[in-house]
Amino acid sequence: MSQAITVKAVLLAGAMLTVLWIPSPAISGVLDPAPAYSLPPAYDWTGFYVGLNGGGSWGRASWESDPDLTSGTLSHSSGLVGGTLGYNAQNLGRLVVGAEFDFNWRRFDFTIPAATCGPTCELDSNWFSTARLRFGYQIDRFLPYVTGGLSMSDFTAYAAGQPNGTNKGVSFNFTAGAGIEVALAGPLTGKLEYLYVNHDNIACVMECNGPVNMRVSENLLRVGLNYRLWQQ
């Protein structure tokens, strides 16, 4: 009797060990560790980039004529196209600080009906450039930012038929604006940007008791496509 019980106990123990040793899909599914799900890394804006941009510029020339004490305002619009070179640094969490330089071609041609004692004054400009700082805040793959810095532009003012009546030079002043940039695919990013560009006074030399003084400013809206260099 006791020998039969002993044999049954041994067989039962062996069966239990076999069940525990053979992996069961139901048991392994419960006991296996949960798979690790990792979030994709946040987009890092750090690095150099080059780009192209295009859009439109709306200029305004305010003038005052010393010879006859008249004044007025003229408006002019132009398309623009240009190139960009910049660098971003993202070392403080979501804050992105960068520097950007751009050069743009556009055409302004103002005709100032200035002094009644002389010919009209022509004011031309073919290009402008900016060197700016950018301060942005990363929101996923979007980067809204504000920007400001130095503006440069060529201007030529001349009064037809007047000796020494041509005044040519480069204006240095300020620019400020805002925009938003978005990461597209791979190293490409796109942007939409507004800038206000101010220019120094330009004088048209007249021979009737003084010059005609002019100040030009412009508002521009442009889109751009940037290519990030040496992207990780």
The distance from CA 223 to its chain's CA centroid, rounded to whole angstroms, is 9
Confidence of residue 119 (pLDDT cuts 50, 70, 90): confident
* pLDDT surpassing 80 at residue 138: yes
Mean pLDDT for 121-129 is: 91
* pLDDT surpassing 90 at residue 227: yes
**Closest Cα to residue 225, out of 5, 26, 54, 59?**
54
CATH class of 47-228: mainly beta
206-224 pLDDT, tens digit each? 767 778 888 999 999 999 9
* pLDDT surpassing 90 at residue 177: yes
26-69 pLDDT, tens digit each? 444 445 554 544 444 568 899 999 999 999 999 999 988 887 78
Residue 68 CB-half CA count within 13 A: 14
**Closest Cα to residue 171, out of 218, 120, 212?**
218
Q: What is the pTM of this model?
A: 0.77
Give the domain ranges of the chain: 47-228
Mean pLDDT for 173-182 is: 97
Confidence of residue 121 (pLDDT cuts 50, 70, 90): confident
- 199 close to 151: Cβ distance less than 8 angstroms: yes
What is the three-state SS of 23-68?
A: CCHHHHHHHCCCCCCCCCCCCCCCEEEEEEEEEEEEEEEEEEECCC
Mean pLDDT for 105-128 is: 84
